[in-house]
Amino acid sequence: MPDLGLDRPDDPNGPNPSPDFDFDPNLEEKLPKHVKSNLFVLHMKKVTQEDGSTIVICNYYKKVFKWHKSGGYSTYRKHITNAHQDAHAKSSSQAQISRYATPNQQLLKYSDAKNREELARMVAVEHLSFSFCENVGFNKYCQRALNPAACRVPRTTLTETLEKIYEKEKEMLTNVFEKYNGRVSVCADIWSDY
């Protein structure tokens, strides 16, 4: 058996790591997370304070929680499912057909607002007419193949949603460009839509 440098005869405590072995303090972050803790990783941030205590901060409302050394996530999970239903959007009451189920798959709640926003983005990106969302074939496809709860989005609502998206994106870009004190060069590729 090859010598791996794990046993030192002069050490009464037995096996020790080799001096060549470097312990990675970030090893825990690199390991795959358990399915329940993925919820925590996506919506919470763990911070070690100067006094050595650890706190957990919600990414949305910046609410501070005390870190439980036992490793339980139930307090944080309850906060996310109750206070941030749109961000979490996981349905706990919906049945899942076992034929199509996978262990890491989450069940999502249908949201009219999210449907309107994503439809508006699709119409803008694909250069579709605003009346596209009123087509009978498209609506039947959405209700039969995607989600029976999907509602028809009128073109007037689609126009309003696009205006809100435009204002939101404009504000975001304005904030980004303010950091550069007017020293911005904008180039466009006229052959591409994206």
Give the whole-angstrom CA distance, residue 147 versus residue 150: 5
Q: With a threshold of 0.75, does the pTM exceed it?
A: no
Q: How many CB atoms lie within 10 A of CB 123?
A: 21
Give the whole-angstrom CA distance, residue 107 versus residue 93: 9
Residues 107-159 pLDDT 10s: 667 788 888 999 999 999 898 998 888 889 998 888 888 887 788 889 999 99
* b/e per residue 47-72 (b: at least 16 CB within 10 A): eeeeeeeeebebeeeeeeeebeeeee
181 torsion bin: left (phi>0), alpha (psi -120 to 50), beta (else): left
Averaged pLDDT of the chain: 72
Predicted local distance difference test score (pLDDT) of residue 184: 78
Contacts of 124 (CB under 8 A, 6+ apart): 162, 165
108 versus 26: the higher-pLDDT residue is 108
